[in-house]
Amino acid sequence: MWWSTAAIVALLVLLGFWYLSTTAGRLDRLNKRVETAQHSLETQLLRRVSLATELAASGVLDPAASAILADAAHVVRVAPQDRSPQRAQSESNLTAVLGVLFNDPADVAEMRRVPGGSELAEELDVATRRVALSKRFLNDGVRADRDLRRQKLIRWFKLEGTSVTPETFEFDDEAPAGFGTR
């Protein structure tokens, strides 16, 4: 009789260790996913601001639009490179400037007719869409990580270890309407 009780207790202990081990592994994979998404978003934001700067200096846009775009891109470049409110505001401002400049499909079509404008417009269109996707992947990963960390067993057994709870990065990332939909 005591063998069966000992076997059941041993089985429950093993199942508990297995559950905790797989949950810790899942949390670790989520942390890596979030870290990769952070790097991807930073890369896409850098690409977008570089293309905005290149477009402003290319002569494709009129001088006033070039100056506004160059100023918005400069503000992003000098903003702190963390996920601070100042950085989020500068990225949102760049998104707003791009939205105003490329809101009308006719303006975008006109820019594409200028030599070199088509390539820049296409690259900027792709970059703005990749920023939105990267931000979505990051924020989805952060939410999944936070949901997992809220589980009682994870808190009780401190399965998150010394990793810092990730934060979402919120800024306006809407692609300009003039580029159209795909």
User: Using N-to-C axis directions, what is the helix angle for 117-149 and 105-113, rounded to 10°?
Assistant: 130
Report pTM: 0.90
Residue 56: Cβ within 10 Å count: 23
- Could you tell me which residues come within 8 angstroms of residue 142 by beta carbon, excluding any fewer than 6 positions away? 34, 166, 167, 168
**Splitting the chain (182 residues) into consecutive groups of 10 residues, what average pLDDT does each group show?**
89 93 91 96 97 96 95 96 92 96 91 92 95 97 94 89 90 89 48
Predicted local distance difference test score (pLDDT) of residue 66: 96
How would you class 156 by CB atoms within 10 Å of its CB: exposed for 0-12, middle for 13-18, buried for 19 or more? exposed
pLDDT of residue 118: 92
